[in-house]
């Protein structure tokens, strides 16, 4: 940390002279923090926020609010541009002109960049010294992350706490504070450690967080051991998105799913749930398809859960259905949180004349049913379809009844991009927050079984055709976060912010840190 701090100090003159260029560079470094570069990515994360906070310290005394906003916006622009550029892949897959695809990306990046800009201008405006500047920044950054996750349908992608995924003991605090608490503590610790007069506070917070994580993973015994054992088969066909959209190979794709579902060493003494990914049946489910799948996949001890489209009252839904061996759909769930641009187009986008990006002639409708699936003979679970797994505090309707979480998805839209890694990391955090293991079934990307501490037990990576056949982990527990969701960290931040504001009138030179 001191070495990085010395590097920043060495270039302080450059930061002072070229703050916007420095902010653009700092934001672009976060590309490596969200693409699986592990420790190199975390070093880039530390360096990135050190650069940004050094620039804000320069503006502290003269309260240069205009420049603070510009620097924050510049930082956010490259941050989002380089970490979500993969979104153009889905636009071009459905035939959108490349120009409009990148125009849509720039529009989104321009809007998201306002959040870091608001954080920076508010931090400089409220701060009275370098010490409370660090606290203000951590608070305001986390608050704006929370707002980004709920405003305009919400887009909680690449929250900064996800950059700490490699540090398993540290991230266990998510079972109390959630991902927003991880973001807050991560930024605060990094900023406190950069100054020799403040580092002791950072050290205490870091040690306390790691010790808590060690206790949770290695010592805590408050687990619930279920009586039933669920076997699952996660079918991972790795079908290219171009083939998913090609109706001429529809039945070839279905037959590949059926082939991968046929396990020779299937344990017939236990119930087995065969799971196909999102849109595995890439059309509206019909009685004929149900009958075909019922006769070729299921038996007395197995059920099939597959992603498909469903029509009800002339409305189309992105759904998951459970099929038995009696030609029946016994359970279904309709996706409730749809992907902007992918599954529906926000009205404000249509009003400015951008072409429709969602496939098909009509947008999907939001589901209204619970995502809890309770089938006789099986452990109850909650299901999330694709994008829904990234929403903190919204993945379980029955946290005290359901024993595990299922996520079906299709990341073939983003083959070869950082999206597949980012989506997997966010899924692991949901496991920690809820204290539940997660089965993740992906058409092409990462399929995995994840334990309640966010550790990937088994996985299949992109472009590998295969399946995962295993028992779902038996241990789970009801976390504090699963009960109170984001209320705890929001209350802590609001109380801290009020305390800081009460002391706002201290003079700049009163605490020289």
What CATH number has the domain bearing residue 430? 3.60.110.10
**Quick one: how far is CA 432 from the chain centroid?**
13
Q: How many CA atoms lie within 13 A of 156 on its CB side?
A: 27
Q: Same domain for 215 and 90?
A: yes
| 235 and 214 part of one domain | no
Residue 408: what pLDDT?
A: 98
What would the DSSP string read from start to end of 180-215?
Answer: HHHHHHHHHHHHHHTSTTTHHHHHHHHHHHHHHHHI
Q: In tens digits, what is the pLDDT along the chain, a chain of 513 residues?
A: 556 566 656 666 677 778 899 999 999 999 999 999 888 999 999 999 999 999 999 888 788 899 999 999 999 999 999 999 999 887 777 666 788 888 889 999 999 999 999 999 999 999 988 889 999 999 999 999 999 999 987 899 999 999 999 999 999 999 999 999 999 999 999 999 988 888 999 999 999 999 999 999 999 988 988 888 889 999 999 999 999 989 999 999 999 999 999 988 887 778 899 999 999 999 999 999 999 999 999 999 999 999 999 999 999 999 999 999 999 999 999 999 988 766 776 665 555 555 444 444 457 889 999 999 999 989 999 999 999 999 999 999 988 889 999 999 999 999 889 999 999 999 999 999 999 999 999 999 999 999 999 999 999 999 999 999 999 998 999 999 999 999 999 999 999 999 998 876 554 444 343
226 lies in some domain: no
Kindly report the number of other CB atoms within 10 A of residue 195's CB atom. Answer: 17
pLDDT of residue 513: 39
One domain for residues 49 and 128: yes
- The size of the chain, in residues, is 513
Q: Is residue 225 part of a domain?
A: no
Residues 304 and 360 in one domain: yes
Residues 112 and 259 in one domain: no
Residue-level pLDDT at 18 = 82
Same domain membership, residue 74 and residue 45:
yes
User: CA-to-CA distance for 484 and 482, rounded, in angstroms?
Assistant: 6
Same domain, 143 and 201: yes
Enumerate long-range contacts of 123-126, CB under 8 Å, 24 or more apart.
123/56, 123/68, 124/56, 124/59, 124/60, 124/63, 124/64, 124/65, 124/68, 125/63, 125/65, 125/68, 126/500, 126/501, 126/504
Domains held by the chain: number: 2
Do 121 and 210 have their domain in common? yes
* In a shared domain, residues 191 and 257: no
> What is the residue-wise DSSP string for 414-466?
GTTSTHHHHHHHHHHHHHHHHT-EEEEEESSS-EEEE-TTS-EEEEE-TT--E
Domain-located, residue 481: no
- Does residue 364 lie in a domain region? yes
* 152: in domain: yes
* Alpha-carbon gap, residue 397 to 367, rounded angstroms: 14
Q: Which domain holds residue 174?
A: 2-220+486-510
Residue 353 lies in a domain: yes
The reported pLDDT for the residue numbered 509 is 42
pTM of this prediction exceeds 0.95: no
- What's phi and psi for 34, nearest 5 deg? -130, 30
C-alpha pair distances (Å), 404 with each of 165, 382, 449: 21, 7, 11
Judge whether 119 lies within some domain: yes
Query: Cβ contacts of residue 366 below 8 Å, gap of 6+?
Result: 334, 335, 336, 337, 338
Does 455 share its domain with 503?
no
The reply to whether 361 falls in a domain is yes
Same domain, 425 and 444: yes
Q: Are residues 249 and 163 in the same domain?
A: no
């Amino acid at each position: 940390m001191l070495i990085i701090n010395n590097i920043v100090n060495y270039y302080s003159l450059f930061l002072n002279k070229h703050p916007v260029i420095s902010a653009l560079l700092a934001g672009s470094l976060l590309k490596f923090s969200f693409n699986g570069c592990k420790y190199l990515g975390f070093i880039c994360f530390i360096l990135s926020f050190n650069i940004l906070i050094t620039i804000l310290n320069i503006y502290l005394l003269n309260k240069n609010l205009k420049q603070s906003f510009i620097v924050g916006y510049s930082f956010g622009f490259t941050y989002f541009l380089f970490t979500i550029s993969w979104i153009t892949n889905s636009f071009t897959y459905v035939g959108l002109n490349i120009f409009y695809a990148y125009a849509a990306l720039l529009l989104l990046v321009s809007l998201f960049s306002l959040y870091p800009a608001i954080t920076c201008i508010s931090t400089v405006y409220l701060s009275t010294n370098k010490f409370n500047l660090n606290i203000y920044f951590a608070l305001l950054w986390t608050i704006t992350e929370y707002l980004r996750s709920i405003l305009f349908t919400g887009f909680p992608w690449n929250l900064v706490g996800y950059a700490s995924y490699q540090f398993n003991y540290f991230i266990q605090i998510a079972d109390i504070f959630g991902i927003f608490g991880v973001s807050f503590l991560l930024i605060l610790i990094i900023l406190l450690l950069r100054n020799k007069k403040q580092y002791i506070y950072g050290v205490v917070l870091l040690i306390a967080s790691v010790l808590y994580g060690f206790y949770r993973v290695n010592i805590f015994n408050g687990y619930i051991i279920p009586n039933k054992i669920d076997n699952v088969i996660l079918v991972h066909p790795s079908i290219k998105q171009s083939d998913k959209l090609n109706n001429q190979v529809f039945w070839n794709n279905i037959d590949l799913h059926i082939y991968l579902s046929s396990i020779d060493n299937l344990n017939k003494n236990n119930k087995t749930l065969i799971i196909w990914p999102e849109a595995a049946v890439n059309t509206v489910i019909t009685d004929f398809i149900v009958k075909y799948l019922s006769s070729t996949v299921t038996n007395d001890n197995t059920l099939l859960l597959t992603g498909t489209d469903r029509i009800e009252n002339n409305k189309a839904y992105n759904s998951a259905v459970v099929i038995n061996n009696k030609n029946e759909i016994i359970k279904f769930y309709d996706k409730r949180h749809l992907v902007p641009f992918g599954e529906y187009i926000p009205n404000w986008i249509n009003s400015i004349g951008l072409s429709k990006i969602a496939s098909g002639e009509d947008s999907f409708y939001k589901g209204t049913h619970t995502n809890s699936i309770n089938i006789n003979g099986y452990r109850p679970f909650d299901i999330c379809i694709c994008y829904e797994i990234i929403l903190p505090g919204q993945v379980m309707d029955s946290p005290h009844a359901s024993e595990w979480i299922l996520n079906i998805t299709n990341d073939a839209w983003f083959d070869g991009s950082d999206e597949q890694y980012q989506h997997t990391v966010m899924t692991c955090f949901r496991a920690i927050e809820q204290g539940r293991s997660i089965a993740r079934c992906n058409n092409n990307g990462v399929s995995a079984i994840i334990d309640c501490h966010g550790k990937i037990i088994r996985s299949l990576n992109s472009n590998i055709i295969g399946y995962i056949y295993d028992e779902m982990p038996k241990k789970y527990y009801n976390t504090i976060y699963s009960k109170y969701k984001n209320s705890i960290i929001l209350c802590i931040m609001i109380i801290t912010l009020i305390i800081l504001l009460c002391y706002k009138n201290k003079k700049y030179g009163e605490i020289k840190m």
